[in-house]
Structure 1
Amino acid sequence: MTSSAAESVREILQTVTDPDAEVPVPVQDGASAGLVSALPAQASPEDGRMAALREALRPDLFHAVRPWEGSFDEGVARLQNILKEGGARSIVFGEWDEAPVWVVKMNDTNSLGWFDRHFQPLPDGPSFAHGPVASIDIGHSGALVGPSLLGLRHLDGEAVEGTKLAFCDIGPGHDFTSLFTRNVSW
C-alpha cells in the first residue's frame, strides 16, 4: 500500500463513529476497495501466550490479529457481529503452536461454520476453546474488518503501511504455515 493509501485509510477510520457502519477502504494499489464493517476498537490486555502468537506471525499480520476478550462463547458472539455477510471468514488461533482454524459465515444469518486448516468441518469447534484465542477477521470482499482494522487509526503511517489489509489470497485450503515466521509442529 502506498503512503497516500495508508493515509486515506487513517483518515477514513478517524471519521467512523457508528459501530454498525460500513465504509469503503482502499485495501492496496490495484485491488478493489472493500466494504469494511466498523466496530469500536477496544484495547485488550494480552497474556504471554498471545504475545508469543504475535511474535510467531509474519510482521505484516501483527496488527491484523485481534485477541478475543471474555469467554470463548462471548468471543464467538462478537465474531458473529463482525462477520456480517455470507462468505466473511476468520482465521482463528489458539497458542501459536496449534493449527489455526477457519470460521466462515455460512449465509446472511448468524450461522458460523468451523473448519480445520484443510477445510474439513469441525462440528465441535476448535480444540483450543478453553485457552487464549485470537483471530484475523476478513470480510466477504477479502478486506480486514472489525476492531483490528479500526485499531490501525491509532498507529503511525509507517505501521499502517506495513500491515496486510487485503486477504483475497488467503482462503479455504490456504497453507497456514505461510502465516508464521517459525516452523510449526502441525
Structure 2
Amino acid sequence: MSNILFEDQIIGQGDFPEKPEYGSDFIECTFDKCNLFERDLSNLNFTNSTFSGCELSMSKLQNVQLNNVIFKDCKIMGVDFSKCTGFLFEANFYNCILDFCSFENLKMQGVTFKDTSMKGVDLTGSNLQKSNFLNTDLHDARFSHTNLKEANLSTAFNFIISPTQNNLKKAIFSEHNVKGLLYEFGIHIV
C-alpha cells in the first residue's frame, strides 16, 4: 500500500482528512484554522509545512515526523511531542500556546519559540542547543539535564533553570531575567 501524498495544498478547517491514511505525507502544505483537537495524527509526515491559527490541543503525535514545520498562532496544549520521530525533528513556534506539552529527550537544536506560552512544559533531557526563546513565558517549565548551550533566553521570563543540572555554556540571558538561574542557591536579587 502506498502513502497518500498531499503536496502544495491549502488545507482549511473542514478539509483535513477525517482519518488520514497511515504514513500519509504532507509536503509544502498550509493548514489554515484547522480544528485538530484530540485528533490522532500518528504516523503522518509533515515537511516544509505551516500550521496557522490551528487548534491542536491534546492531539496524538505518535511517530509523527515534523521536518521544517512552522506553527503560527496555534493552540497546542497538552501535546506530547516526545512521541514524534526524533529523526529530522525541526519545528518552530510563533505566538503559540504550548502549555503542558512535553518535549522530553527530543533533539531540537536551533528551534525558535517566539511570543509563546510554555507554562508547565517538560524539556527534560532535550537538546535545545542554539535555540531561541524570544519573549517566551516559561513559568513552571521543567529543565533537567537539558542542553541549552548557546541558547538565547535573553527575553524569556518566569523560568527557573538550575545551572548545575543543565548545560548553559555560552547561553544568553539578560540582567533582568538572571534571577531564574540563582533560585536553587537561595540568592535574591533586588
TM-score of the superposition, structure 2-length normalised? 0.26
Q: Which has the higher helix share?
A: 1
Point out the structure with max Rg over C-alpha.
2
